[in-house]
């Protein structure tokens, strides 16, 4: 677990969470609203996917929350084996990085990225992958050493697959 400076009297904790974490429904709500609804996933699917990651042993879910509120979620990031079933030659993946809009720009996303990078490095994988829309986000991820590998399109959106050696 790591702490991120927050408002003057609060701290933000970042830690791995599992299927019984009280913040799981809030995180599932983020992921469902941000990506799942557009792909036809239900909220229940998002909850089950997060619970399965928490039980898997080879994948991990990380949560940012105020140190004094176990049920509130500020953001999350996943370490998953395969984020794009059509591209099985890449992996593992930094997936589903999300920070609540009212908390962006405070370093929470960066700490979540660093936490996933640390876990992937401890697993002794050679590289970590992600995919990001072509506008703006590749520059954000480049700050953590990710480099563009190949473009692809999905659901009418252009993305970059990015890779960071570990």
- The DSSP H or E segment spanning 45 is helix 43-56
Domain carrying residue 161: 2-165
Beta partners for residue 151, in sequence order: 160
The CATH number of residue 124's host domain is 3.40.630.30
Per-residue pLDDT of the chain (166 residues; tens, 9 = 90+): 444 444 443 689 999 988 888 889 999 999 999 988 888 889 999 999 999 998 888 899 999 998 888 778 999 999 999 888 777 788 899 999 999 999 999 999 999 999 999 999 998 889 999 999 988 899 999 999 999 999 999 888 899 999 999 9
Contact partners, residue 6, CB within 8 Å, separation at least 6: 12, 66, 106
Our count of domains for the chain comes to: 1
The crossing angle, in degrees rounded to 10, of helices 43-56 and 24-31 is: 120
- Predicted local confidence at residue 10, as pLDDT: 62
């Amino acid at each position: 677990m790591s702490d991120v400076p927050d408002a003057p009297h609060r701290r933000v904790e970042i830690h791995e969470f599992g299927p019984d974490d009280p913040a799981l429904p809030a995180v599932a709500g983020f992921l469902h609203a941000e990506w799942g609804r557009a792909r036809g996933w239900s909220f229940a699917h998002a909850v089950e996917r997060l619970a399965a990651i928490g039980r898997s042993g080879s994948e991990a879910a990380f949560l940012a929350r105020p140190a004094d509120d176990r049920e509130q979620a500020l953001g999350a990031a996943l370490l998953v084996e395969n984020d794009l079933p059509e591209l099985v030659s890449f992996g593992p993946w930094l997936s589903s990085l999300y920070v609540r809009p009212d908390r962006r720009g405070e370093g929470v996303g960066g700490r979540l990225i660093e936490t996933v990078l640390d876990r992937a490095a401890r697993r002794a994988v050679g590289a970590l992958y992600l995919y990001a829309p072509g506008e703006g986000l590749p520059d954000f991820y480049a700050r953590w050493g990710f480099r563009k590998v190949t473009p692809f399109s999905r659901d009418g959106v252009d993305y970059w697959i990015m890779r960071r050696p570990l």
